Structure formats: structure tokens, C-alpha cells
Amino acid sequence: MIVGTQKQPLAWKSCTYPVPTPTRSGLRWKASMLRTLHRWNGMPVSAHPSTIMVPALYNVMPAESVALGWLNEIDALHTLRQRMNAAAKITGWDVFTFHTLHNADHFFDTTIAAVRETWVKEGTLSPAAVQESQRRFGKPYDYHRIHPRLIENLVFQSSLMDWVSGHASDSPLRFHVIGTALLSALVSTGSIAFEAAVESAMKIGSRWDASLRGSTKAKTEDEIGWNEFRQIRGLMEGGSSLSMTVFRQDLPAPDAPARPFWYSATVTSEPTLITTAQEAVNALETMNLNSWSSVPQSPAASVEEPIRGWLVSPMHPMARFCKWSVSNYLLATPASVTLFLDHIASLGRRPMLAPTVDPIQNRFRLSRIKVTGP
């Protein structure tokens, strides 16, 4: 992505975003394979629920969520628009504009312009917030500023988690979130209000931004911006490490989550089950910028997580863990999530038992049935 000082403005050069289109027959085949593997291992198919893995960031490129169709899914769009508006009232800038400002796949330029124009005319998108987004984040390197990336991710990720939970009401699922995705999980489970999460993300991200930008010897704003861009890009790709912790005063005060979920500070950290308010507080204090880093090797499915769906975009480094896999699935689009819920997550459903009948009561009923001949 970054090739040299002279070509730095081409950081977001034109490209084509891949949009995965899994087939129903392919998901059925994988479900059949999983049943077979369970039989070989002597395990019941419904032994464990499926796990939805939620990395610290959903996407790495601008406008990926638009390309993957999340703004075309009416249930997801309703929540997304609400949270975009709520975030804009707090920050003064617009998440949609920030997310699409440096769109690299120009096939979606018309769609982005049409959506922006429609929302402005409807009064659901403030022209002032759009202009502020363009002013603050108009440089190519600004898409990897930490505090807007945290808020952008919070809006999309929490909305997607709500959508998955709403469409999986009859399927046994558990979420396993990593690093800064904890804020999204706490919003989705009702532990903290979305507005409180945005304010916390602003404080945490601004501190991390200031620390990273202050650590360079660069003098001009462009040099400082490109330096931060390179460091964050390297961190996301797993090529570098940046450890930045949170301050307790920047954290929200959570309640107990309505639904328990698993949390790991990084991809390689041991998971902790979050069930109480104190456990949520303890988890918040472990958040670190280093959770944005991917790991070079594919984590193998454990006994506790035999079937995993990864809630990430196709260009995310984590997405490569899901390629040609029976137990790891890429959940990037509404269609891929729906197929996963229908054919894979449903493997964990408990079989419906036939209702039992009291034999004495049954004999009494049979004795009252009159059988008449022809």
C-alpha cells in the first residue's frame, strides 16, 4: 500500500473490493462434512454452539461496509443510521462521510453520492457534519487516525452484532470479541449506552493519537500524518507492535451485560467470560491498541470453539483464516451471515423431543373411543 515517499499520496490507490458470495449448496456440504467429522470423533453434533469471532476492527479499507451491502440490508441500515446520527451529535463529524471519503473502488462512487444526497434531503445527515468530516479527514493518511477509526468501527460493528443476534434468535451462538471490539459488545448487550461508548472511544483514541503523533521526529503535518499511517497499517497487518493502554478515567461505567460473551485482550490471549459488571470493568481496563494487530499464523479451532464465524471484511488480515475451511467461516455480508445461521449455526440446535404422554391417561382416552363397523 505504501511504496515510497514520492508515491505516498497513492496510499488509497484504485482497487476492486472482493465481495464473497457463498452458495447455499456449499454451506450445506460443509454442514454435512461437520456432521461426519463429529461422528468420527464420537461427539454429538449439538455438543457446542457456534462462536462468532469479532476482531478489534471489522474492516481495514475505506467504504468496505458499503461495498459489502450492509447499507442495503434494511434491518441493519435502521440501526446504522441511528448510531451514525448519535455519533455525529457528539463528535461534530459524520461517520458515513469518514468511512467513504477515500473510497478505493470507484464502482461505488455513484452509490455513495446517492446515499449522501438522499440522507441530506431527508434531514438525517447534517451538511455541516459532512463538511467537518471532509475538513478533518481529507488527507489520504487520515483514514488511519485512531480516534475516528474507533468510532467508525463502533458504529458498524455494534450494529452488525445486533443484526446477527436478532437473526439468530433460535440458533445457539456465542460471541467472542477481541480487544477494542469490547466496546461494541458492551453496547450490543446493553451494558453501556451507545453515546457513552462514543465518548469513551473519543477519549481513548485521542490519547493514543496524541501519543503516536508525538513520538515522531517529523515536523510537518503531512510527515506526521504519513508516519502514523505507516505505523497503524503495519500494526493491522501484523508487521509491527504498538502497545498503548487505556486510562481508567476514560472508561464508561458498565452494567452487567444482558447476554454473556467471551473476551480476549488480543487474538492470542486466553478468553474470559463476561457476565457481571465487575468483569466488564476489568475487561475494559485491559484494552490495548495492540489488539488491532493480526497474527501471522491461523489459530486452530479449539474444543471449546469447534465452529467459528469471523465477523470481518474480506480484505481484513483475519479473513485469510476462513479460506477453504470447514470450521472457520467468513461472515462479511448479510447473505453470508444468513447462510451461516441457516446451515452451520443450526447444527448446535437441540433436537426437538416428542411430547410424552401419561400411559394411564392415554389408556383412558383410548377406552372412550368408539369403533363402529361398516
| Total domains in the fold of the chain | 1
| Residue 369 falls inside a structural domain | no
| Residue 72 falls inside a structural domain | yes
Cα–Cα dist 46/50, whole Å? 10
Cα–Cα dist 173/171, whole Å? 6
Q: Provide the pLDDT confidence category of residue 216 given band limits of 50, 70 and 90.
A: confident
One-letter amino acid of 334:
P
Say what the pLDDT of residue 50 is. 84
C-alpha cell at 81: 443510521
Q: Cα separations (Å) of 26 from 33, 45, 253?
A: 11, 19, 44
**Position of cell 490471549?**
269
Q: Provide the pLDDT confidence category of residue 8 given band limits of 50, 70 and 90.
A: very low
Give, rounded to a whole angstrom, the gap between the first and last alpha carbons of the chain: 86
Residue 296 has pLDDT above 80, yes or no: no
Question: In the sheet that 328-330 helps form, which strands lie side by side, from edge to edge?
Answer: 272-274, 261-264, 173-178, 50-54, 308-310, 328-330
Say what the pLDDT of residue 22 is. 83
More confidently predicted of 6 and 342: 342
The proportion of the chain whose per-residue pLDDT surpasses 90, expressed as a percent, equals 64
| Residue 315 falls inside a structural domain | yes
More confidently predicted of 153 and 341: 153
Residue 363 has pLDDT above 70, yes or no: no
**At a CB cut-off of 8 Å and minimum separation 6, what does 149 contact?**
57, 143, 205, 232
Query: Quick count: other Cβ atoms within 10 Å of Cβ 358?
Result: 9
Say what the pLDDT of residue 181 is. 98
Dump pLDDT digits (tens) for 134-147. 999 999 999 999 99
Q: Provide the pLDDT confidence category of residue 297 given band limits of 50, 70 and 90.
A: low
Q: What is the pTM of this model?
A: 0.86
Angle between helices 181-188 and 194-214 (to 10 degrees): 170
Say what the pLDDT of residue 52 is. 93
Say what the pLDDT of residue 215 is. 86
| Residue 133 falls inside a structural domain | yes
Main-chain phi, psi angles of 263, to 5 degrees = -135, 135
Cα–Cα dist 175/272, whole Å? 12
**Position of cell 462468532?**
52
Element (H, E) at 178: strand 173-178
Say what the pLDDT of residue 246 is. 97
| Residue 236 falls inside a structural domain | yes
Question: CATH number of the domain that 219 lies in?
Answer: 3.40.366.10
One-letter amino acid of 347:
L
Dump pLDDT digits (tens) for 331-353. 999 999 999 998 888 776 554 44
Say what the pLDDT of residue 10 is. 61
| Residue 26 falls inside a structural domain | no
Q: Provide the pLDDT confidence category of residue 300 given band limits of 50, 70 and 90.
A: low
Q: Cα separations (Å) of 52 from 3, 43, 94, 157?
A: 35, 21, 28, 12
Dump pLDDT digits (tens) for 246-273. 999 999 999 999 999 999 999 888 999 9
DSSP letter string, 33-92: HHHHHHHHTT--GGGS-EEEEE-S-S-SSTTHHHHTTTTT-HHHHHHHHHHHHHHHHHHS
Say what the pLDDT of residue 328 is. 86
Residue 94 has pLDDT above 70, yes or no: yes
Say what the pLDDT of residue 370 is. 42
One-letter amino acid of 21:
T
Torsion angle of alpha carbons 326, 331, 335, 337, nearest 10°? 80
Say what the pLDDT of residue 348 is. 61
DSSP bridge partners of 366: none
Angle between helices 146-167 and 74-91 (to 10 degrees): 150
More confidently predicted of 13 and 54: 54
Residue 374 has pLDDT above 90, yes or no: no
Structural domain boundaries enclosing 258: 44-350
Residue 24 has pLDDT above 70, yes or no: yes
DSSP letter string, 255-320: ---SS-EEEESSTTSPPEEE-SHHHHHHHHTT-BGGGG---SSPPPPPSS-SSEEE---TTSGGGG
| Residue 15 falls inside a structural domain | no
Say what the pLDDT of residue 282 is. 97
Q: Provide the pLDDT confidence category of residue 303 given band limits of 50, 70 and 90.
A: low
